[in-house]
Amino acid sequence: MNEERIVNTDRVTRMEILDAVEDVFGPSGAAKADIIDRAECYGARPALIEVLARLDEAGRCATVRNLWKDLPDVPIE
pLDDT tens string 19-50? 999 999 999 999 999 999 999 999 999 999 99
Which residue from 30, 77, 65, 72 is spatially nearest to 51, judged by alpha carbons?
A: 72
Using CA atoms, how far residue 31 sits from 4, 8, 14, 23, 69, in Å, is 42, 29, 18, 13, 14
Average pLDDT score over residue span 45-73: 92
Structural domain contains residue 8: no
Q: Which domain holds residue 52?
A: 14-70
Which residue from 21, 66, 71 is spatially nearest to 41, judged by alpha carbons?
A: 21
Domains of the chain: total: 1
Measure CA of the first residue to CA of the last residue in the chain; give whole Å.
Answer: 29
Structural domain contains residue 2: no
Structural domain contains residue 39: yes
Tally DSSP H helices, then E strands, for the chain.
Answer: 4, 0
Structural domain contains residue 3: no
**Predicted local distance difference test score (pLDDT) of residue 58:** 83
**Predicted local distance difference test score (pLDDT) of residue 4:** 47
Structural domain contains residue 53: yes
